[in-house]
Amino acid sequence: GTLLLANSGCPPFEGAVTGRNALEKSRCSTSIETILNAIQQDTRIKAVIIASRGPIYLNSKGFGPVEAGYNYPPISERASINGATETAPIEVFRQGLDASLLRLYQHGLRVAYLLQVPELGVPARDCLCRPLTLTRGESGCTVAFAVYRERMHPYRSMINELRVSRNFLKIVDPEPYFCDAHACSGFRDNQLLYADDDHLSVLGSIRLAPAILQALDIEPRAQQSIIPTSGQQ
């Protein structure tokens, strides 16, 4: 079986927090510890995959018209609950993710990280109707590959550096499943692959599932994993 621990807008990164004020940051910190402790206390758990968004936590900028009103600050250290800190968000992200992965690995678990799926910038329903500003081609949810890579570059480079330094870490990259050399799309092979602008639909998840199972060395019909994840604010 698979257990999902969803922690919306608060990645399960030890020592890091998100939030607009001290109360939200405190709740995020508590939630992170609750999730990590729950994983460690459940002896059935053999493998863990952490999924989160990326650029939005580094620069607090949403993507496209659907996130034009995004107003949350970037990720910060837990110490920021009681005052300002100066550590760059990209370093807070890296340190926090690394701490959680190492904590779980040292507990005897197989660990992986799922890179953020390409952002559409528009509601998933626009895959089936008119194109918008960020789109190209026939679909209403197609983003130029160059636009996608420019936004993702600092985040993906940081994750790659982490992968090199932690040889136990497996990375699941959704890019090949939703992008080609020209564009990334939420509608492929006559299937709607997204539920909204940055979350996969059931069909999109099925499309990516084999890569996740392979990374965690799990047999498709004999899976016992837990997926702590965070959505957008």
- Sequential pLDDT tens for the chain (233 residues): 788 888 889 999 999 999 999 999 999 999 999 999 999 999 999 999 999 999 999 999 999 999 999 989 999 999 888 877 789 999 999 999 999 999 999 999 999 999 999 999 999 988 876 544 444 444 578 999 999 999 999 999 999 999 999 999 999 999 999 999 999 999 988 889 999 999 999 999 999 999 999 998 877 654 445 556 555 54
The residue type at 125: R
Reading the block at residue 130, the tokens are 């008119």
Containing H/E element for 6? Answer: strand 2-6
What digits encode the pLDDT tens for the residues 61-119?
999 999 999 989 999 999 888 877 789 999 999 999 999 999 999 999 999 999 999 99
The residue type at 225: S
Separation between Cα atoms, residue 189 and residue 138, nearest integer Å: 13
Beta strand 110-114 pairing with 47-51 = parallel
Beta strand 170-172 pairing with 110-114 = parallel
Separation between Cα atoms, residue 103 and residue 45, nearest integer Å: 14
Separation between Cα atoms, residue 186 and residue 28, nearest integer Å: 30
Q: What is the DSSP letter of 124?
A: G
Quick count: other Cβ atoms within 10 Å of Cβ 108? Answer: 10
Beta strand 183-185 pairing with 142-144 = antiparallel
Cβ contacts of 43 within 8 Å, gap of 6 or more: none
Q: What is the DSSP letter of 82?
A: G
Separation between Cα atoms, residue 108 and residue 85, nearest integer Å: 33
Separation between Cα atoms, residue 112 and residue 18, nearest integer Å: 22
Separation between Cα atoms, residue 6 and residue 140, nearest integer Å: 29
Separation between Cα atoms, residue 25 and residue 16, nearest integer Å: 9
Beta strand 191-192 pairing with 187-188 = antiparallel
